[in-house]
Amino acid sequence: MLFRGRFRAPAATLMFGVLALELLPLPSTSLSQAQEPAAANQRDERGGQLTIQVLGEDGTPVSIQVCLRGENAREICSTSDRLGTVTFFRLVPDSYIVLVFRASLQVWADQVNISNGVGIQSEIIRLRDSRETAPTVSVRDLVVPERSRKLYEVGKKAFFRGDYTKAQKSLQSALSIYPNFPRARNALALVYAKQQDYAGATGQLEIAIKLDPRFGEAYFNYGIVLMNAGRYADAATYLARALSLEFSPDHVADSLISSDIRANSPDAAVSALQTIHQRKFQHHPFLHWEVAKYLEGLGRSQDAESQYRQYTAEAQ
């Protein structure tokens, strides 16, 4: 998980694969994985019908509300049956956010693309702890050739072990097989960032975002890399985009407000908090306290008092 460093922290922290999606029957991992379709290494994106099965932490089916939200903000909701299955019919071509709610709490979110045609597409979702809110993530890497995907997995494991040399070699090999692999680009960027090669990191993240403009994790990591490089105003732009894509809002909110403060952008910080409230994103009340202290130091006592009141209301 992300270390949620407050604004006193010397540097922000990158996020890698804090996902709740698990497509079976591949081995369980913390990252989005490819589901082997009938045609080797090809995912059926011809769309029209989408079946989703929701499983609990222990793998048992879950009856739960599932919603699809299109890019034009229209939303379709249904409840999974006793087998944890729900099917959406006659879907128009679009990029949908798949949302899963337990009671009124969002516990899972992901992106899925429905293209032209009358094909049938399926996803299997395994929920994490109900107390956690999962981020919105990209699934465009589901068409990646198997060899490239396996090299990516090797690189990912090496990264988590701190073996950045092996991680870099494996990820570069994965990309030599399939260059249009956004998640491998994102992972390689993190390897570069760990070695303080910020130019290399931003280069990979730019490609990842170009390949998948809705890849929230890449926007977040781009923002963090820019923060660590001291480019706080630029960082805020990418972090705001990650927030708009609903990628792990509680983590992004911390870094976004921190960037606005360090960039000496008080109005941007206040506006970001307003957006967080308007979209009902989970966030820590302490954000209001930090912004209040910042505004107070600028002599904006009235605005600071408003933030102090909000902090008190949320902290109770």
User: Tens digits of per-residue pLDDT, 175-185?
Assistant: 999 999 998 99
Q: Across 31-40, 137-146, 252-261, which has the greatest mean pLDDT?
A: 252-261
Band of the pLDDT at 128, cuts 50, 70, 90?
low
Of all residues in the chain, what percent carry a pLDDT higher than 90? Answer: 38
What angle, rounded to 10 degrees, do the helices at 216-228 and 198-211 form? 160
Q: 50 is written with which tokens?
A: 């989408």
**Cβ neighbours of 263 (radius 10 Å):** 18
Measured on CA atoms in the order 153, 154, 155, 161, is the torsion positive or negative? positive
Identify the burial level of 173 via C-beta atoms within 10 angstroms of its C-beta, where 0-12 means exposed, 13-18 middle and 19 or more buried.
middle
**Predicted pLDDT at 122:** 74
Q: Name the least confident of 61-70, 94-103, 125-134, 196-205.
A: 125-134
Highest mean pLDDT: which range of 20-24, 36-40, 114-118, 180-184: 180-184
Q: Which of 54-63, 142-151, 169-178, 307-316 has the highest mean pLDDT?
A: 169-178
**19-134 to CATH, choices 3.30.70.260, 3.40.50.1220, 2.60.40.10, 1.10.1740.10:** 2.60.40.10
Burial zone of 129 (CB within 10 Å; 0-12 exposed, 13-18 middle, 19+ buried)? exposed
Q: What percent of the chain has pLDDT over 70?
A: 75
Of all helices (H) and strands (E), which one includes residue 87? strand 85-88
State residue 151's pLDDT score. Answer: 93
* Confidence band for 161, pLDDT divided at 50, 70 and 90: confident
CA neighbor of 38 nearest in space, from 102, 113, 117, 119 = 119
Distance CA 13, CA 132 (A): 19
Q: How far apart are CA 76 and CA 99, in angstroms?
A: 10
